[in-house]
Amino acid sequence: MKKFFIYPLLLAFIAGIVAGANYTPGTFLSGWDTLHPEFNVPLAFSRIFTGVWRADQGLGAVAIQSHIADLPRVFLLFLGSFLMPVNLLRYASFLVTLAVGPVGIYWLTEHLLIKQHGSHRHFIAFFCALTYLFNLGTVQHFIVPLEMFAFHYALLPWLLFTGLLTLESGSRKSFLAFTLITLLAAPQAHTATLFYAYFGVFTLFVGAWILSSDQKFRALKRGTMLITAILLLNAYWLLPNIYAVATKSNAVRTSKVNALFSDEAFAKNQKFGTIADAALIKNFLFDWQLVDPKTNAQIDVMAAWSDHLMRHPIALAYGYTVFFLVWTGFVYALWKKQRILLNFAPVFIIPFLMLLNGTWPMTLVLARIKESAPVLGEAMRFSFTKFSILYMAASSLFAGIGLLQILRLIKQVSVIRVTKATIIVLSFYYFLPAFGGNLVHPSMRVNIPPAYFDTFSWFQKQNPDRRVAILPVFSFWNWINYSWGYQGAGFLQFGIPQPILDRDYDRWSPMNENYYWELSQALYSEDATAFDAVLRKYDVHYLLLDENVISRDHGRSLYIDQTKTLLSQIPTITIAKSFGKVTIYERNNEVSPSFVSLKTNLPTV
C-alpha cells in the first residue's frame, strides 16, 4: 500500500483512539449548547421544513438561529439511528468529524506539495494533519462540543481542497465534489455568523487566486462558479436568516441575557487577544468555569490543559515552536513568491488578526465596529469561535512548509530521521491530556434519567397545539444545572413536540421575555390569582415542574415547595402525570386553537 494511503488511515486511527478515550459507556454526550435532534428525528425534520417561523419557541419567534441548515446532519443522524442506539449517535458524529478534518488537511497538503518529489512530501502532509488535530484550538472546539464547529472543523479543509482543484482545473468532478461538500457543510451555519466568516474569507481566497492568475478571465469564471454555488446551495437557510437579521436583530441584541452577557464575552475574548495566546490558539475557555456535578463547585473548563502546560514546559515550548514554523513557512512563501501558497494568505492573515483582538490596532478596529454597527459588534463578541478554525487550517499548512525548509537544510539522513521522530513525539506529548479523556470534558458525558424519555413519550401522545410552561423559573439566565450532572441551555425542546416556554427562547423575542417577568412576579409574590391570569394570557395548557433542577446560588431560590402550594390553590390545575422528579400539571381550560387569538392593549414589561 502506498504511503499516501497509509497516512490517512493512521490519522483516522489516531482520531479513533482519542475519541475512544473520551467516551464513557452508557452515557450521552450532552451539555453546554446541546443539540439533540436524535431524540425525535421526525420532529426535527418537521421543525426544519417549517423553520422560518419557530412556533415551538415559546410564543413563537422568527428563526434567528439557522436551524434549517441542520438538515444534512439530521438526515445523517436518521441513517445512523438504524445502526446504533440513540446515546451513541452524538459520540459517533464527533468521532467522524475529528477524523475527517485532519485527513482533509493531509490531502490538501499532498496536493500543494505535488511537485515535491523528495522523501519529505508524505511526512510533511502527515505533520500538517497532526498539527491541525493536535492544537489547543481543536481542544476548545471539542471540550464542550457543538455540532456547528465540529462540521466546520471537519469540512473546511475539504472545501479549500476541492475549491482549489476547481480553480486549477475547472473539472466537473472537482466542482461536483465541492458542491456536495458545501451541501454537507451547511450545519456550520446553525449560528450563521460562522458561515459569514467562512464565506468572507473563502471569497478573498478566490479573489487572491484570480488576481495572481495569468489567465484572469478563466480564473474569474471558475471563481464565480464557486461563489455562486455556495450562495445557491445555502439559499434555503441563508435568505430566511438575512430576513431575520434585518428585522429582529436589534430585539435580540437588547434582550436581558444578551445585554448583560455580551460585554463580558467580548472582554474575555480580548483578554486572550495577545500574540502570546494567539500563538497557541488559546482563548476565552481558559478563563471559563463550569459546575462540578459531584461538588456543585465552580471549576475551570480547561483545568487539565492549563495544568499540562504549566507543569510541562516542554509542551508549552512545542506550542511556540509550531508557531515559529508557521511564520517560517509563511515568510518563505513570500520570499519565494510561491503563488499557490500565497493564495492562502487571506485564510491565514485575517483570522490571525481576529485572534489578536486584544492587541492594537485590532482593539481600535473592533471598538469602532461595536460603536458604529452594534449588530455586527454583537456578532463579533466571540471572534475566536468564528475565525480560529480558519486560522488552524491555514497555519497547519504553513507550519508544514516551515518544517520542510528546515529539513532541507539538514544534510545527514540520520539527523533528518531523528528530527522527524522528535517532532512527532512532541506533537503527541503536546496533546497528551486528550488521550487521557480531556478532549471532551467529563462533565459533558452524562446519564440522562429514563424519566425524561418517559416524559417525551407522554407528550408525543398529547395534542401538539398545547403550550408547555417549564418550571422552576428562578432565573432569567438561559442556563440550567441538574442534580444528575447536565449543565447547559437545555434539552427538553428536542423531545417535547409542543411549544415550550423556556428561558433559552427569551433572547429571541421580547414577548417570550415578558412572559418570564410576569410569571416570575406572580410566583414569587405567591399570588395564585395573578399566576393563573398569566397562564391564561399566554395560553399555557401544561406545566412541567422539574425537581432535578438545582441552583448554583441557593436551593431555596427554586421555590419548589411554594410552586407546588401555589398550583394546588388553582382549581383548574391538576397533576396529569409524574415521572420520577418530573411532574406534569394540566390546566383544564379552553385554549385558543393553534394559539390564534386576538388580544389588545397588551403591556410591555
CATH number, domain with residue 521: 3.40.50
Q: What pLDDT, on a 0 to 100 scale, did the predictor assign at position 65?
A: 87
137 SS3 class: helix
Tens-place pLDDT, residues 286-315: 999 888 877 778 899 999 999 999 999 999
Same domain, 504 and 440: no
Report if residue 100 sits inside a domain. yes
294 SS3 class: coil
DSSP 117: -
Q: What pLDDT, on a 0 to 100 scale, did the predictor assign at position 368?
A: 83
Domain boundary among 413, 444, 475: 444
Report if residue 386 sits inside a domain. yes
Same domain, 436 and 513: no
Same domain, 360 and 225: yes
Same domain, 121 and 11: yes
The cell for 233 is 446551495
Domain boundary among 426, 444, 462: 444
Length of the chain: 605
d(CA 489, CA 30): 10
d(CA 109, CA 125): 5
- For residues 498 and 524, the answer to whether their CB atoms sit within 8 Å is no
Report if residue 48 sits inside a domain. no
d(CA 359, CA 595): 51
Report if residue 37 sits inside a domain. no
- For residues 337 and 407, the answer to whether their CB atoms sit within 8 Å is no
Q: What is the pTM of this model?
A: 0.94
Report if residue 51 sits inside a domain. no
Residue 95 phi/psi, 5° resolution? -60, -45
Q: Give the DSSP H/E element, type plus range, for residue 368.
A: helix 362-372
Same domain, 383 and 515: no
Total structural domains within the chain: 2
Closest CA to 92 of 5, 150, 177, 143: 150
Same domain, 251 and 161: yes
Tens-place pLDDT, residues 29-83: 999 988 999 999 999 999 999 888 999 999 998 888 899 999 999 999 999 999 9
- Is a pLDDT exceeding 80 seen at residue 377? no
Q: Lowest mean pLDDT: which of 89-98, 100-109, 143-152, 240-249? A: 240-249
Residue with cell 512563501: 333
DSSP letter string, 231-261:
HHHTHHHHHHHHHHHHHHHHHHHTSHHHHHH
Tens-place pLDDT, residues 83-112: 999 999 999 999 999 999 999 999 999 999
Same domain, 440 and 380: yes
Same domain, 440 and 458: no
Domain limits at 574? Answer: 449-595
Q: How many other β-carbons are positioned within 10 Å of the β-carbon of residue 584?
A: 19
Domain boundary among 444, 470, 501: 444
Same domain, 148 and 252: yes
- For the chain, what percent of residues have pLDDT higher than 90? 74
Same domain, 211 and 337: yes
Report if residue 527 sits inside a domain. yes
362 SS3 class: helix
Closest CA to 229 of 169, 167, 168: 167
Same domain, 424 and 484: no
Report if residue 47 sits inside a domain. no
Same domain, 229 and 318: yes
Report if residue 58 sits inside a domain. no
Per-position b or e across 420-439, b if 16+ CB within 10 A of its CB: beebeebbeebbebbeebbb
Closest CA to 443 of 12, 31, 7, 20: 31
The cell for 592 is 385558543
